[in-house]
Amino acid sequence: MKLNLKRGQFFRDAAFMGIMRRAFYNRLKEKHTDAGTACGYAAKNTRIRNGLEKDHAAGARCAGGNPLAVPLDAIYMRKAAGRRNRQIHKAAVNKGGKGKLNQSPKHAFGFQLFGRVQMPDGRKGFIFGRRSSGSFDVRSLDGEKISAGISYKKIKQPLAGRTSIPAERKDGMRLPPRA
């Protein structure tokens, strides 16, 4: 049997899901006894019987057993974000044997990475980049640039405490259809 693989192709995500799916389900079942699993063919059959379009929201409703539920007119975006740079010292050691720190301070002018801020025009975004000059790169969670370099004096202090998984609500949007 010959596999049609291209050089540099990785299967890390698929392998991870294959290994972790059962462990995740067992832990979920311990806390929520009514948890269950669904098969793709059953969700597809339910979707076709109810005349629903093929998208993430319809698939989730069909797999959950409530295909005719009214979908939300907003989506919630989340982004896993690291807290700090993990490399503490630079690789090259200075004269005298002292290592130079590679990490920037956690807070710059009272702001930190992925903290939620409000712009002067009322739009809200997240800090994607900080500079020691006090200029910040502010974007939405999907990467849309709000401002490539705005002074800390012009934006309002963080709206909420920084969490490990920043979340943002997008009104009037639906997830794109699956291919």
- Tell me which residue range forms the domain holding 161: 89-171
Q: Is the pTM of this model over 0.75?
A: no
pLDDT digits (tens, 9 = 90+) for 19-49: 888 888 888 899 988 887 777 888 899 999 9
Residue with tokens 């007119």: 73
CATH number for position 106: 2.30.30.140
143 and 93 fall within a common domain: yes
Residue 179 lies in a domain: no
Residue 95 lies in a domain: yes
Residue 20 lies in a domain: yes
Task: Quote the pLDDT of residue 48.
Answer: 93
| Residue 82 backbone phi and psi in degrees, to 5 | -70, 155
Question: How many domains, in total, are found in the chain?
Answer: 2
Task: Quote the pLDDT of residue 45.
Answer: 92
Beta-bridge partners for 156 = 118
**Domain endpoint, select from 41, 71, 101:** 71
Residue 124 lies in a domain: yes
Reading the block at residue 48, the tokens are 């076709």
